Chains A and B, each alone.
Chain A
Amino acid sequence: EVQLVESGGGLVQPGGSLRLSCAASGFTFSSYWMSWVRQAPGKGLEWVANIRQDGSQKYYVDSVKGRFTISRDDAKNSLFLQMNSLRVEDTAVYYCARDRLGYWGQGTLVTVSS
């Protein structure tokens, strides 16, 4: 069974940093593109970033470019999102998803507030 479990969310002040993690199981992690998608409270879905199987290609939505970095550790079946210079508008539930979003985790809440 495919499982994606996010962690690392929490409350952070504007300008601060957080590192999200996603632990994957039930499939060959190294064979799939992986993505982060977020959802602000009461709002719709926004794709944030994704990363190719070998990490050689990474794509970001414009609003996070230069602030967020997606990475992966295939040996540990893990996906990461390093978030720096956080803004109030980054407040959202962040989901980890596999490939073309066929599987999703339960999400982790990031709250940016002073």
Chain B
Amino acid sequence: DVVMTQSTLSLPVTLGQPASISCRSSQGLVHSDGNTYLHWFQQRPGQSPRRLIYKVSNRDSGVPDRFSGSGSGTDFTLKISRAEAEDVGVYYCMQGTHWPFTFGPGTKVDIK
């Protein structure tokens, strides 16, 4: 199985400041169809997960533009340009290229 690693499990952020979450996969995530199925999810306390970014860098509808995704190969990053109070929660990367799909352990973001 593909192992997804998020090296930072806890990330205190300052309101208005940028934040970055990294994710690494144990093997490349380019699918045979040419797409890279690396997605990012946000789970606020007490809520269901919500997808923020799909296929590395595509923002889902309604997601603020302060969120952006980048990366290639086995290294990926989610960036928050200016952290807001509503960004508190756990962020997961997930690969949907290889069966079984696998999630990273999550990075818990809170406010300093």
Contacts and interface: CB of A to CB of B under 8 A. Distances in A.
A26 interface: no
B5 to A, nearest CB: 12
Contact of A61 (B41, B60, B100): B100
B22 interface: no
A47 B100 contact: yes
Interface in A100-114: 100-102, 104-107
A107 B47 CA distance: 9
A102 B55 CA distance: 11
B47 to A, nearest CB: 9
B92 A107 contact: no
B50 interface: yes
Interface string A81-114: 0000000000000010000111011110000000
Nearest to B100: A61
Given A100-B39, A101-B39, A102-B60, A46 B103 contact: yes
Contact of B103 (A44, A62, A104): A44
Contacts of B103: 44-47
Given A44-B106, A102-B60, A95 B54 contact: no
23 contacts: A44-B90, A44-B104, A44-B106, A45-B43, A45-B103, A47-B101, A47-B102, A50-B101, A59-B99, A60-B100, A61-B100, A95-B49, A100-B39, A100-B51, A101-B49, A101-B51, A101-B96, A102-B51, A104-B49, A104-B50, A104-B51, A105-B48, A107-B48
Interface of A: 35, 37, 44-47, 50, 59-62, 95, 100-102, 104-107
Given A45-B49, A100-B96, 10 more contacts: A44-B103, A44-B105, A45-B43, A45-B94, A62-B1, A62-B100, A101-B49, A101-B94, A104-B50, A104-B51
Shortest 3 CB-CB contacts between residues of A and residues of B = A47-B101, A104-B48, A45-B103
